[in-house]
Amino acid sequence: MPIKIDQNREHPIGVFDSGLGGLTVVRELMRELPFEDVVYFGDTARVPYGTKSKEAIVKFSKENVAILLRHKVKMVVVACNTSSSFALPILRESFSLPIIGVIKPGAKKAVEITRNKRIGIIATSATVNSREYAKEIHRLDPTIKVTAQACPLFVPLVEEGWTDRQVTLTIAEEYLKNMKQFKIDTLILGCTHYPLLKAALKKVVGKDVLLIDSAKEIARDVKQLLEYTKKNRLTNKKPKHTFLVSDEPKHFHLLAQKFLGTAIKHVERCDHV
């Protein structure tokens, strides 16, 4: 049976990810919804998710939602593409509050802006193997040609803060060489960690290739959902943001301030049980 949750417009928006990457979603939520409280949980003890089994990803995702519910969130944003690929339907069946993922917003935007109908997707191995992005793109436009590449080294590079190192550029060149041969004009960044590598990715694919950042798209979807819901769950008070991790708060705290571009007072370690 789904867990019944009471929702209040003053309650925060919950966001979870496997680690730091979901902060790209938080950053866009802060811009799009400056008065909303956000509770963020990064499962840093178990990052990355992209190499895990479907069963593990679903289990982790349900546990992450349970942590957010301790903070009485009014909705949950699944910032992790891997969790969105495998766990979203199960989460919606298990919990009775709005839960949205990053796949559909990113795919929709890519379909809207591609000019030559050749779209590339870079993501974790699990997300690529799920084919959820390709399925959604072809649902919207069956004539579009899609190519996908797993980039498993990108997440640890971002988690380490190595977003502007030469080694990162070298790895990006290796991963993206097939994208250039395929002549894509649109590239979906199918992991919330990847927008932090935009500079390196742009150098590799060239300025004419449009990069789709799902974080921006999902922030707009959240705003729309809160604005048009019958109970109008938007709020307009001074926001208070909470940051939780499952391991090593100090490292997260240091990098999170860099990624968000704002000071964070406190990061709390939070166990799943």
Check which CATH number belongs to the domain holding 68 and give it: 3.40.50.1860
Active site residue 151: no
177/92 same-domain check: no
81/108 same-domain check: no
56/143 same-domain check: no
Note the pLDDT tens digit of each residue in 46-87. Answer: 998 988 999 999 999 999 999 999 999 999 999 999 999 999
Note the pLDDT tens digit of each residue in 138-192. Answer: 999 999 999 999 999 999 998 888 998 999 999 999 999 999 899 999 999 999 8
pLDDT of residue 1: 46
CB atoms within 10 A of CB 169: 16
Domain of residue 89 covers: 3-101+216-269
114/156 same-domain check: yes
Alpha helices in the chain (DSSP H): 23-32, 54-69, 81-86, 88-94, 103-113, 125-130, 132-140, 154-159, 166-182, 198-205, 214-228, 249-260
Distance CA 168, CA 172 (A): 6
pLDDT of residue 202: 95
Distance CA 125, CA 165 (A): 23
228/126 same-domain check: no
16/64 same-domain check: yes
Active site residue 80: yes
The pTM of the full predicted model, rounded to 2 decimals, is 0.88
111/195 same-domain check: yes
120/149 same-domain check: yes
17/81 same-domain check: yes
The domain tally of the chain equals: 2
Q: Please identify which of the residues 75, 102, 110, 191 carries the catalytic annotation.
A: 191
64/123 same-domain check: no
95/223 same-domain check: yes
Q: Please identify which of the residues 76, 80, 88, 184 carries the catalytic annotation.
A: 80
126/169 same-domain check: yes
